[in-house]
Amino acid sequence: MTSSITETLTFECETGNYHTFCPISCVSWLYQQIEDSFFLVIGTKTCGYFLQNAMGVMIFAEPRYAMAELEEGDIAAQLNDFKELKRLCLEIKVNRNPSVIVWIGTCTTEIIKMDLENLAVLIESEIKVPIVVARANGLDYAFTQGEDTVLAALVNRCPSEELTPAVHQEVDKTNQSDQSTIDDSLSSQKTQHPPLVLFGSVPNIIQKQLITELKQQGITVSGWLPSRYSELPVLNSSVYVCGINPFLSRTATSLMRRRKCHLISAPFPIGPDGTSSWIAKICEVFGVVPESLKEREEKSWSYLKDYLELVKGKSVFFMGDNLLEISLARFFIRCGMIVYEIGIPYMDRRFQAAELELLEKTCQAMNVPFPRIVEKPDNFNQIQRIQSLQPDIVITGLAHSNPLEARGITTKWSTEFTFAQIHGFTNSRDILELITRPIRRNTNLNTLGFTTVVK
């Protein structure tokens, strides 16, 4: 690697021969987040086998999702799609009584051109359960983009106005000293701003933490996409929206184009730097001067000291599979790491504009070269590059982890970042806990003297 610092970020595109999860995997976290839903994946044995294996023990917990497994008769159009889907959806209605059934279209339904959108309208009116269609297939999307397709479909189901006349909610604003934030009743000032809806699926506890952070700046969150189907947020031209995950570009587009919402383009609240910039940007849009935000961020960094010592100067290589890569790389660089390559399945430069800008600024501030951003990477080529660069840690999927470890290269399983709690100030420790775990483990084991275990 050269140490010269280039002027701007560069983007490359490879062959797209890379390993990632199929986007239908999003059902595994979305069915938990949308508590009154049922997800029906319309596909083949291949889809079912993937879900069954990728979900691990979750599959035994009677999840609220199932496969509508297509058989030869369905493919050859000997069976009637309408009758078949209606039969299955009625069965689901009787057994599970969900508020909404989400159909996940797959590669097969795309290729045989099953008209899911129209079928959904017909069946919805007959069985009286809302049916939302999301085409989360491997022909078009990678892994976390599955969530994007589902949320984009849900956008159309959000109410456009409150049942009661819409009033901008008045918000309690607490004094900003850290002690007094504890007590909501200590409100002394009032702030008004248009309604703010956040989008991106995270566990309730993270939602609550981010809402609390904003509340401390006097900003109220009036809704969250997704939520229970019966509690979907109101969306109209007075609503401001802000994403919390980097892979939600279609959802953002739908919010802007179909519901005329105002998109706040901000870096994503991952890491203290990301969280702080995210809050600052929202404040800026609402004309609020953030109070003690820098102090808040500094304090958050101070809690990370022990981890920062471990990661400082270490080099990272992202093979790319879940679209969180830019935000994580930006955070790691701010932590003092050196990022060689950011592989990423798909790069929406408009939706991630603020995040990319922060990445640039961070590189400059930390005086490190810009990482190379590789869209649609080629895993074979990447492994050649990894072998010549010998990074301290490779963030990659399970298909490559063990073989790389056997060759003495430390890895972190990328999917864990998707399932772990990584948003907000509070969870920055968890990200570093994840990334340092293999470093700590291998530091222990390296004294044994056998780092490579292949012939």
Is 90 a binding residue for another protein by CB under 8 A? The answer is: no
Please say whether the beta carbons of 110 and 137 come within 8 A.
yes
Calpha distance 455→450 (Å, rounded)? 12
Please say whether the beta carbons of 381 and 395 come within 8 A.
no
> Alpha helices, DSSP H only, in 100-234?
107-111, 116-127, 145-155, 204-215
Considering only 85, 120, 131, 323, the residue that binds another protein (CB under 8 A) is: 85
Considering only 35, 84, 360, 416, the residue that binds another protein (CB under 8 A) is: 84
User: Based on CB atoms, which residue is closest to another protein, 161 or 306?
Assistant: 306
User: Based on CB atoms, which residue is closest to another protein, 84 or 357?
Assistant: 84
Footprint of another protein on residues 52-71 (CB under 8 A)?
A: 52-54, 56-57, 59-60, 63, 66-71
Footprint of another protein on residues 162-201 (CB under 8 A)?
A: 178-179, 181-183
Is 16 a binding residue for another protein by CB under 8 A? The answer is: yes
Footprint of another protein on residues 356-375 (CB under 8 A)?
A: none
- What DSSP assignment string belongs to 327-371? HHHHHHHHTT-EEEEEEES---TTTTHHHHHHHHHHHHHHT-PPP
User: Based on CB atoms, which residue is closest to another protein, 160 or 204?
Assistant: 204
Supply φ then ψ for residue 60, to 5 degrees. Answer: -85, -5
Footprint of another protein on residues 92-111 (CB under 8 A)?
A: 92, 107-108, 110-111
User: Based on CB atoms, which residue is closest to another protein, 167 or 450?
Assistant: 450
Considering only 212, 364, 390, 443, the residue that binds another protein (CB under 8 A) is: 212
Footprint of another protein on residues 242-281 (CB under 8 A)?
A: none
Residue at token pair 């999301």: 134
Considering only 5, 12, 77, 91, the residue that binds another protein (CB under 8 A) is: 91
Calpha distance 272→424 (Å, rounded)? 7
Footprint of another protein on residues 118-147 (CB under 8 A)?
A: 137-143
Calpha distance 377→371 (Å, rounded)? 14
- What DSSP assignment string belongs to 241-265? EEESSTT-HHHHHHHHHTT-PEE--
User: Based on CB atoms, which residue is closest to another protein, 138 or 267?
Assistant: 138
Considering only 116, 154, 337, 383, the residue that binds another protein (CB under 8 A) is: 383
The annotation places the binding site for [4Fe-4S] cluster at 22, 47, 107
H/E element, 91: helix 81-96
- Stretch of residues binding another protein (CB under 8 A), selected from 38-46, 96-104, 118-126, 366-374: 38-46
Please tell me what DSSP assigns to residue 234. P
Footprint of another protein on residues 281-340 (CB under 8 A)?
A: 300, 303
Is 22 a binding residue for another protein by CB under 8 A? The answer is: yes
Q: Which two tokens stand for residue 17?
A: 């021969």
